[in-house]
Amino acid sequence: MNPSPSVINKTLEINPVSSSTLKLLCTDFDGTLIDHEDGGSPPPSEFFERLYNAREKAPVTWVINTGRGWSDLKYDLIAKAFPVWPDWVVLTERLIYQVVDRELVDHSDWNRRCQSIHDDLFSKSQNLFTEIRHHLSETTEADLINDTASPLGIVAKTEEEADRISYYLDDLLSEWPELVYVRNSIWFRFSHIDFNKGTCLREIAEKFQIHSNDILSAGDHCNDLPMLDSQFARGIVCPSNSVEAVKTKVKKNSGFIAQGKAGHGVLEGWKYFFP
């Protein structure tokens, strides 16, 4: 039996910062807002009502921080009839854009620097990716795909195979401190260590001079781990469908593990930290 939210948070010795005001809401998309175990259902209407009501009192910036590209994300925002759209998006876990009239405005300084650093890193590591391709082709059934954000995209056949690929990459990349892999379930891509969902959240927060006490960050999978950190947000939330690595990180950062799945869980955490 799952403990109640009050029991969970008593164990974690968490106290909400009731004097804080939500100014920045940062959410992953797949598995965090969208419940793929329930046919891809969107967040409950109360999520959007709460966002609307919060904005009536003070500016609240909503960021969707995702591994998706814009065309895929925009398609689902329309298909699932989101009544409110995000103010900002982080795409492929590292590129930042403002959303104006449902179209992107480039956060150019960050994105140019990000692209330049990645171009240099991926150029230096070409031989490494040749080695990875060869090894995975010989030892796994994973699909090696083209990824516009990475020299190599990997799609494992199962979670168990993805775990084995993780162990292999952990060992191989130990000699490449700047290069990391980003995993979301069975999908992998590669990135520079300084550009991730957490550093993107910090960049947006600094732009608006928003303190971490006034930020809520929610995610469910391994690529969300960098932004589920108390250095970036006081309110750290994960829904019940989150992987164990995320739940462990949330506990470590005095966060809130919800009983509800996906958007329902995010709403629980929002109410807890910003009642």
Domain range list for the chain: 5-93+196-273, 111-192
Q: What is the pLDDT of residue 5?
A: 37
In this prediction, residue 20 carries a pLDDT of 76
pTM: 0.90
Which residue ranges of the chain lie beneath pLDDT 50?
A: 1-18
Q: How many CA atoms lie within 13 A of 211 on its CB side?
A: 6
In sequence order, the β-bridge partners of residue 111 are none
90 CB neighbour count, 10 Å cutoff = 28
Task: Determine the pLDDT at residue 263.
Answer: 98
Residue 164 has a pLDDT of 97
* Res 19: pLDDT: 52
| pLDDT more than 70, % of the chain | 93
Q: Which CATH code fits 5-93+196-273?
A: 3.40.50.1000
Which sign, positive or negative, has the C-alpha torsion 168, 170, 175, 180?
positive
Token pair 């974690």 is found at 12
Q: What is the pLDDT of residues 249-264, one digit of tens each?
A: 999 999 999 999 999 9
